[in-house]
Amino acid sequence: MSLTSILAYLAIYVIVWMVCLFAVLPWGAHSQTDANAVTHGTEPGAPARFTIWKKLLATTILAFLVVALIGWIVSSPILQRYWN
Read off the pLDDT of residues 10-65 as tens digits, 9 standing for 90 and up.
999 999 999 999 999 988 888 888 888 888 888 888 887 888 999 999 999 999 99
What is the rounded distance in angstroms from the CA atom of residue 22 to the CA atom of residue 48? 19
In this prediction, residue 59 carries a pLDDT of: 97
What is the rounded distance in angstroms from the CA atom of residue 57 to the CA atom of residue 42? 27
Question: What is this structure's pTM?
Answer: 0.78
Domain boundaries, the chain: 3-83
Q: What residues contact 47, with CB distance under 8 A and at least 6 apart?
A: 29, 30, 31, 32
In this prediction, residue 61 carries a pLDDT of: 97
